[in-house]
Amino acid sequence: MDVLVVGDINVDVINLPTKKSAPQVISEVFLVKGGEAFNFACAASRLGLKVEFQGAVGRDFLGDFLIKEGRRYGVRMKVVRKGRTGITMAITKDDRKFITYRGSNSLLEFEDIRLRKAKWFYLGGFWHLESLDHEKLFEEVRGNVALNVGYPTGKGKRKLLSILPKVDLLFLNEQEYEALNLRGFGGTMVLHMGRKGSKILGGPFQPAYRVRSLNPTGAGDAFNAAFLFSIMKGDEVEHALKFANAAAALHVSNPPDFVPTYEEVMRFMEVRR
Convert the pLDDT of each residue in 106-149 to its tens digit: 999 999 999 999 999 999 999 999 999 999 999 999 999 999 98
DSSP class of residue 208 equals P
Please list the residues that pair with 173 across neighbouring strands: 192
Query: Has residue 21 got a pLDDT over 60?
Result: no
Whole-number pLDDT of residue 175: 86
pTM confidence score: 0.94
Convert the pLDDT of each residue in 23-34 to its tens digit: 666 677 889 999
Query: Has residue 19 got a pLDDT over 70?
Result: no
Convert the pLDDT of each residue in 185-234 to its tens digit: 889 999 999 899 999 999 999 999 999 988 888 999 999 999 999 999 99
Query: Has residue 98 got a pLDDT over 90?
Result: no
Q: What are phi and psi of 147, to 5 degrees?
A: -135, 130
Dist CA 251 CA 216 (whole Å): 7
Helix, strand, coil percentages for the chain (3-state, nearest 5): 35, 25, 35
Q: What are phi and psi of 123, to 5 degrees?
A: -115, 130
Give start and end residues of each alpha helix (H) in 152-191: 157-163, 174-180
Q: Per-residue confidence at 45, pLDDT binned at 50, 70, 90? A: very high
Dist CA 155 CA 39 (whole Å): 24
Dist CA 49 CA 55 (whole Å): 19
Nearest to 245 by CA among 204, 185, 188: 204
Dist CA 111 CA 66 (whole Å): 22
Q: Per-residue confidence at 67, pLDDT binned at 50, 70, 90? A: very high
CB–CB of 17/133 below 8 Å?
no
Dist CA 10 CA 58 (whole Å): 10
Average pLDDT of every residue of the chain: 92
C-alpha distances in angstroms, 2 versus 41, 44, 122, 128, 230? 11, 10, 10, 25, 12
Query: What dotted CATH number matches 3-9+34-80+106-271?
Result: 3.40.1190.20
Give start and end residues of each alpha helix (H) in 48-133: 61-72
CB–CB of 216/96 below 8 Å?
yes
Percent of the chain residues topping a pLDDT of 90: 74
CB–CB of 223/194 below 8 Å?
no
Instruction: Summarize the confidence of residues 99-111 as an average pLDDT.
Output: 96
DSSP class of residue 209 equals P
